[in-house]
Amino acid sequence: MTKTINWKQEIISYGFLILGSVLFAVGDVMFVNPYHLAPGGTYGLSNVINALYPWKVSLYALCMDVPLLIIGTWILGPKFGFKTILSTFLIFGSTFVLESTWGYKPVIFEFMHEVVEGQAVDKSMLEILGTNLYFKPDYFLNTLVSGGIYGLAIGFVFKSGATSGGSDIISMILHKYTKISLGTLVMIVDSIITLTSLLLGQIRLPIYSILLIYIESKIIDLVVYGVKSYKTAFIVTDRVEEVRNFIINDLDRGGTCFVGYGLYKGQERKVIYINLSRADLLKLKNNLPALDPMAFVNVIDSAEVMGNGFLPIPRQEEK
């Protein structure tokens, strides 16, 4: 059975990939690098090395990305699809062009209205952070904007079906041999890269870099999963019919009821499992005291819920 290609979806996918790659370059060259931040990844490490030994950030990153892709493919197998490889080189190309034309001039700064070394400050001059500062850096605002741009960029790359590659490959290799969770290893690797900014002699650099990573992660979730969030509720109740009728008739939702046993007395208990929007959860909480004031409810965040009434399940068209 031959699978057909959804060209509209593919065009949109590659559009996200290109947009994300270009945005990443903008964020790194215009916002992250001028402030010597290191928010993880090969480009974060490249920014630190660039500050110590000036060379193009894109070339430093490429010297790390290509060997990592080769080593990762050799150890882990062909897990890196065409889009991930394409994204690696699109980010490299965009960053190379931008740093070759724009340089490393910051976008966010405050002009200093003092005389520097006997000369009045020329407001048309935009020097990178160095010995003679012709501008006053605004670290906090720059970090907020950098995190937003990075989050949008990586979110678009993820949305295209590509992965970030780079230093994540190190985490994947370590995961294979240590069995430590991949999320933990990613955090460890990125934290080590972030701490390398201490080599530049300022304690605030890793602090702002960590804040950038936090903002970036929130924006990525927003881009990938959307604004709408869902909650999952487990309701332990002796009044199953009352709660069931409210869920079906008032909330217009379905759910699953299964039997459990209390650990303390070993009594049989009914548990209702249901996914809700925030508005539905609020209605449930407001009505639950009347339905069953003795109910036990556990509510957790759900990153994504697919199926009837929620997000559609992706289907591959077939011919």
pLDDT truncated to tens, each residue of the chain (319 aa)? 445 667 788 888 889 999 999 999 999 999 999 899 999 889 999 999 999 999 999 999 999 999 988 888 888 777 667 888 888 999 999 999 999 999 888 888 765 544 445 544 444 334 444 445 456 678 899 999 999 999 899 888 888 877 767 777 887 788 778 877 766 787 788 889 999 999 988 899 999 999 998 898 888 878 876 666 678 889 898 888 888 898 888 888 888 888 888 777 778 888 899 988 777 888 888 888 888 888 888 888 876 777 766 666 665 544 3
Cα separation, 54 vs 39, in Å, equals 19
Cα separation, 47 vs 16, in Å, equals 25
Cα separation, 171 vs 216, in Å, equals 19
What pLDDT does 127 receive? Answer: 45
DSSP state of 3: B
What pLDDT does 62 receive? Answer: 93
- Quick check: helix, strand or coil at residue 300? strand
What pLDDT does 131 receive? Answer: 44
What pLDDT does 121 receive? Answer: 42
319 neighbors 1 (Cβ within 8 angstroms): yes
Residue 6, number of CB atoms within 10 A of its CB: 12
Environment class of 302 (CB within 10 Å of its CB; exposed 0-12, middle 13-18, buried 19+): middle
What pLDDT does 237 receive? Answer: 87
Q: Which residues of the chain are in CATH 3.30.70.120 domains?
A: 230-302
Residue matched to tokens 């090969």:
42
Q: Which tokens hold the place of 288?
A: 């639950």
**Residue 274: strand pairing partners:** 233
- CA angle (30 as vertex; 25, 34 as ends), nearest 5: 120
What pLDDT does 116 receive? Answer: 47
Q: What share of the chain is helix, strand, coil (3-state, %, to 5)?
A: 55, 15, 30
Would you mind telling me the total number of residues written for the chain in this entry? 319
The helix or strand, by DSSP H or E, that contains position 189, with its residue range, turns out to be helix 182-195
Cα separation, 280 vs 272, in Å, equals 15
Provide CATH code, domain 230-302.
Answer: 3.30.70.120
DSSP state of 312: P
